[in-house]
Chain A
Amino acid sequence: KNQVEQSPQSLIILEGKNCTLQCNYTVSPFSNLRWYKQDTGRGPVSLTIMTFSENTKSNGRYTATLDADTKQSSLHITASQLSDSASYICVVSAEKAAGNKLTFGGGTRVLVKP
């Protein structure tokens, strides 16, 4: 069964500090991995999409890494801001999945404190 597991479930960091979120997946055959940011009460917004051949991708202060061999990804947030408080969701797509089916992780809730 395709699964995506994220850790930690939640974390609190001080403004200006860095943090790293983890994602492990068992989706096969792998097509791509995405990280989404979801603010409270809003829909998810894409941060990055990575395919098998990409092992790092950045979007501003967000940097995602992918190790397709170990089926792990991480999302690093640099110099956190209060606006980074949100849930971060790791999403994996299988190749030729019917309906572009995405397998979603449960998310990591990040709270940035001043």
Chain B
Amino acid sequence: DAGITQSPRHKVTETGTPVTLRCHQTENHRYMYWYRQDPGHGLRLIHYSYGVKDTDKGEVSDGYSVSRSKTEDFLLTLESATSSQTSVYFCAISEGQGVYEQYFGPGTRLTVT
């Protein structure tokens, strides 16, 4: 998985609790992304980062925030988890824009009860 780890790999949490997912890379790539994957939908971009402390919203960013204080770490926070945020979350990295590869992590399965 191209030097990308995600933690935790599985999590069950209750509605209303905050949750933080971590993505860690060892490739020193500039860009990092958070996606969610749900049945019946293709992967959808939540937030992305184009450098330390530089982040922007994707298409499904409501209810999520991110932070990137170091090149290697990109955190996704669900401020108050809801059942609609039950999903599989993937982190991805890329060196640049355009035709650069995006490499995906192994995913985190989150269940909100």
Contact = CB atoms under 8 A, between A and B. Distances in A.
Q: Chain B binding site: helix, strand, loop or mixed by DSSP?
A: loop
A78 interface: no
Interface string B87-113: 000101010011111111111000000
Contact of A32 (B92, B99, B105): B99
Interface in A33-68: 41-46, 49, 51
A102 interface: yes
A31 B105 CA distance: 24
A99 B33 contact: yes
A4 B42 CA distance: 9
Given A43-B1, A44-B104, A102-B102, A107 B56 contact: no
B62 to A, nearest CB: 16
A108 B59 CA distance: 23
A52 to B, nearest CB: 11
A94 to B, nearest CB: 11
B101 A49 contact: yes
